[in-house]
Each structure stands twice: as C-alpha cells, then as structure tokens.
C-alpha cells in the first residue's frame, strides 16, 4: 500500500507539472509589438535580398529570429503557453525563408513566405494576449516556471541520492548536494554573464545549450545503463561486496556528481533568464507576486524531492533500479532530440524537415531527420546493451551452474 501511494503521488505531481506550464509574459503583454519588430526586420531582409545580397539577407532573417522572437521571449511564450509543436512550426518557417533565399527563389515567393510567417505570429500574439498578466497571472507564471524547470533536475538528484543510500554509501550523499549547489551558482553566473558581460549572439547561446544537453545525454545514458546492469539482486550483492567502495570513492562518484551538476545547470541558467524577463518592467506589487510564485514553486519542488527521496526507500531493489534507469533513459532520449533542435536553431548542424511528421514535446521528438537519427542511435545503443546484458547474464548463470555441479 505504501509503495502504491508513493507511485500515485509521484505520477500526480508529474501531471501537475505538465498540465500547468510556466507561462512567459512580456512586461507589457503586448506581443504585437514583438511581431512588429519581426515584420520590420523581415521587410529589410526582403529588400536586401532583392538587391542581390543573399548572405546579408539571410543574416537579417536570423536577426528577426534571434532578436525579437527569441530575445523578446516570444519563442518561450509560444512553446510553453501554446505548444512545442507550434514553436517547431514557427522555427521551420524561419528556416524555409532562408532556404528559399539560398535556392534563389523569386521575390514573390520569399515575400509570400514572410507574409505567412507574420500572419502566424499575429495569431500567436492574439492567443498570448488573452493570457492575463495581472497579479494572479504573474503568480502562476512565476510558480510554473520554477516548478517546470526544476522538476527534471529534482528527479535526477533524488534518484541518485536514493541509489547511494541503498548501496550503503550514505556518506557520499553530501557530494551530490554539493554538486547541485555548485551547479546553481554556476548557472546563475552563466545567465548573468550571457546577459550583461558577454556579447553572445542568439546562435551561440542556442549552440551552448545544445552542447550542454548532449553532454547530459551521454552522462544520463551511461548512468541509466549502469543501474540496469545492477538490477539483479545477485549481481548487486556481488558488486557491493567486491567493488562498490572503490568505485563509488573514485570514478562512479565523479559520474554521479556530473549527472547531478548537469541536471541542475541545464535548467538553472534558463530559469534565471526567465525570471529576468519576467521581472523587467514590473512595479513593486508585480515583483512581489513573482516572488510569492517563486517561493510556492520552490515548496512544490521540495515536496517532489521528499516524495522520491523517502518513498523510494520503500521500493524493492530491482523495481527501484529498473525504474530509476528508465527515468534517466527517458530524460536522455528527450534531451537528445532537444539538443539537436537547439543546435539546428543555432545553425551548427543542418535541419532536414520531414513534412507531416508529428511533434511530441514530452518525448523530445521533432520532425527533422537529424534529431530522429540522434534518438535512433540512442535506441540502437540501448538494444545492443540489452543484448550484451542478456548474454552476460546467461554466461554468469552457466558458470555458477558449473561450479555447483563441480562442488
């Protein structure tokens, strides 16, 4: 009954996070001004293209995306308040305009594409403007941002801590806490540096986020597979007796430290930037409501952490290890798709769109060949790993059976 209650509570908390997303408002809630800036920049790009300077025209299209659309927070507002699918469609429209210019499309074709994009953005601006940005709206926005951005990091950290306790290495838990605190400080410094100290372009910021997420994919996948390999009780007992003290003290502690660090760092910097945008232009009452929302979301995150931290102690060893492994693999799979999408937005890698392919935000699935290939590689690696694990288990069982017969 206790296990069932723990699982039910965790599922409800996860649903709460996804049903109530963090909303991102402009300070004046007038999204049409952002669209006006995008339209003006696109018109400049069209004139430049007609004059024959294709490279500069494509740069101006990028400026429309990285400037008003991204820096003006409309990208995040569309993604969180409307849908990830809608944001992916908008990003694809920007890409198609650049591709049309590269292909030497006619002025009429490029102009039509720009008009369609602006029309879509006007519709989105109207949808976003319906969201109230009054006191309660600001509270919900602040509450949703910290809750949504923090949940993935909390899940990873709580699972790692539970693993250390189950393995008899409770004294190493402080290392994970230190990693999380270090990541919080590093993410805040990064966000402040990107905004105030370094003149980093929108493309560079997208690429930085993408690279960080790819590193997180590697770490989460390796930890996930390592845990599934220890799900068998006999294997775990042998591991504890023979290797755990040395491994946890050295390599595996570093791996787990890095997993915790990346989980917090990835979300932390973006969260700071969200709140910077949310606070800008607000009066004292508005800032107070944002603060209350932040505190409320932080309390909810603590509740999530406590549910996993203490609820997981009541779960038998094998289900716990398998469940933790699946969670980390899910995050790695989702991050892989999102990382490639970020790198495509930063134009570090190409984007080959698959028309009509669905966008599934919860799984990080986007309609480009490159993102699907990355996730496919992860699936193939998993299949190979499970085959290796099955063969290894059979060999171990055969060796054990031979020893029993010989004895």
Q: Is 364 within 8 Å of 335 (Cβ atoms)?
A: yes
Enumerate the CATH 1.20.120 domain ranges in the chain, comma separated: 31-129
* Backbone phi, psi, residue 360, to 5°: -120, 95
User: In sequence order, what are the beta bridge partners of 353?
Assistant: 368
**Distance in angstroms (rounded) separating the CA atoms of residues 356 and 354:** 6
Q: Is 98 within 8 Å of 58 (Cβ atoms)?
A: yes
**Distance in angstroms (rounded) separating the CA atoms of residues 136 and 187:** 28
The count of other CB atoms within 10 Å of the CB of residue 390 is 10
**Distance in angstroms (rounded) separating the CA atoms of residues 188 and 122:** 33
3-class secondary structure for 278-340? HHCCCCHHHHHHHHHHHHHHHHHHHHHHHHHHHHHHHCCHHHHHHHHHHHHHHHHHHHHHHHH
For residue 287, the model assigns a pLDDT of 79
pLDDT digits (tens, 9 = 90+) for 124-181: 988 877 654 566 767 877 787 787 778 767 777 777 777 777 767 777 788 888 888 8
Q: What is the pLDDT along the chain (407 residues), one digit of tens a residue?
A: 444 444 444 444 444 444 444 444 443 446 888 899 999 999 999 999 999 999 999 999 999 998 888 876 788 778 767 777 888 889 889 999 999 999 999 999 999 999 999 999 999 988 877 654 566 767 877 787 787 778 767 777 777 777 777 767 777 788 888 888 898 888 878 767 766 655 555 667 677 777 877 877 877 777 676 666 655 545 544 544 444 444 445 545 676 777 778 778 867 766 776 676 566 556 677 778 888 988 998 898 888 788 767 765 555 556 666 766 777 788 788 888 888 988 888 778 888 888 888 888 778 888 889 999 999 998 898 888 778 767 766 766 665 555 555 55
For residue 105, the model assigns a pLDDT of 94
**Distance in angstroms (rounded) separating the CA atoms of residues 217 and 335:** 6
Enumerate the CATH 1.20.1250 domain ranges in the chain, comma separated: 132-350
**Distance in angstroms (rounded) separating the CA atoms of residues 64 and 111:** 15
Continuous segment of H or E residues that includes residue 93: helix 84-102
For residue 21, the model assigns a pLDDT of 44
For residue 27, the model assigns a pLDDT of 39
In CATH terms, 31-129 corresponds, of 1.20.120, 2.40.390, 1.20.1090, 1.10.150, to 1.20.120
User: Can you tell me which residue has the tokens 């944002």?
Assistant: 290
pLDDT digits (tens, 9 = 90+) for 215-231: 778 777 776 766 666 55
If you classify domain 132-350 with CATH, what class do you get?
A: mainly alpha
Q: Is 45 within 8 Å of 354 (Cβ atoms)?
A: no
pTM for this predicted structure: 0.58
């Amino acid at each position: 009954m206790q296990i069932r209650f723990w699982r039910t509570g965790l599922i409800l908390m996860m649903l709460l996070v996804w049903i109530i997303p963090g909303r991102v408002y402009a300070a004046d809630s007038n999204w049409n001004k952002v669209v006006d800036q995008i339209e003006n920049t696109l018109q400049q790009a069209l004139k430049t293209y007609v004059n024959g300077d294709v490279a500069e025209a494509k740069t101006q299209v990028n400026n429309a995306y990285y400037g008003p659309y991204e820096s003006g927070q409309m990208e995040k507002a569309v993604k969180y308040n409307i849908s990830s699918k809608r944001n992916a469609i908008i990003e694809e429209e920007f890409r198609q305009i650049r591709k049309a210019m590269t292909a030497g499309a006619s002025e009429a074709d490029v102009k039509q594409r720009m008009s369609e994009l602006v029309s879509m953005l006007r519709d989105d601006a109207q949808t976003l403007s319906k969201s109230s940005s009054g006191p309660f709206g600001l509270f919900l926005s602040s509450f949703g941002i910290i809750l949504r951005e923090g949940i993935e990091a909390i899940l990873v950290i709580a699972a790692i801590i539970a693993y250390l306790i189950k393995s008899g290495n409770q004294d190493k838990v402080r290392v994970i806490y230190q990693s999380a605190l270090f990541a919080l400080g590093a993410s805040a410094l990064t966000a402040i540096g990107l905004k105030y100290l370094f003149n980093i372009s929108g493309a560079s910021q997208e690429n930085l986020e993408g690279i960080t997420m790819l590193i997180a994919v590697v770490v989460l996948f390796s930890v996930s597979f390592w845990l599934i390999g220890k799900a068998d009780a006999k294997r775990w007992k042998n591991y504890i007796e023979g290797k755990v003290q040395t491994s946890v003290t050295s390599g595996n502690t570093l791996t787990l430290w890095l997993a915790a660090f990346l989980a917090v760092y990835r979300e932390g910097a973006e969260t700071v930037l969200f709140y910077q945008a949310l606070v800008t232009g607000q009066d004292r009452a508005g800032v107070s409501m944002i603060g209350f929302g932040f505190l409320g979301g932080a309390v909810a995150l603590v509740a999530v952490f406590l549910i996993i931290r203490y609820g997981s102690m009541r779960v038998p060893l094998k289900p716990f290890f398998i469940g933790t492994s699946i969670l980390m693999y899910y995050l790695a799979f989702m991050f892989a798709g999102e990382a490639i999408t970020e790198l495509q937005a930063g134009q570090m890698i190409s984007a080959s769109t698959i028309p009509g392919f669905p966008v599934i935000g919860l799984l990080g699935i986007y309609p480009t060949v490159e993102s699907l290939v990355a996730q496919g590689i992860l699936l193939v690696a998993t299949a190979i790993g499970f085959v290796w694990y099955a063969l290894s288990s059979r060999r171990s069982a055969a060796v054990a059976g031979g020893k029993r017969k010989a004895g």
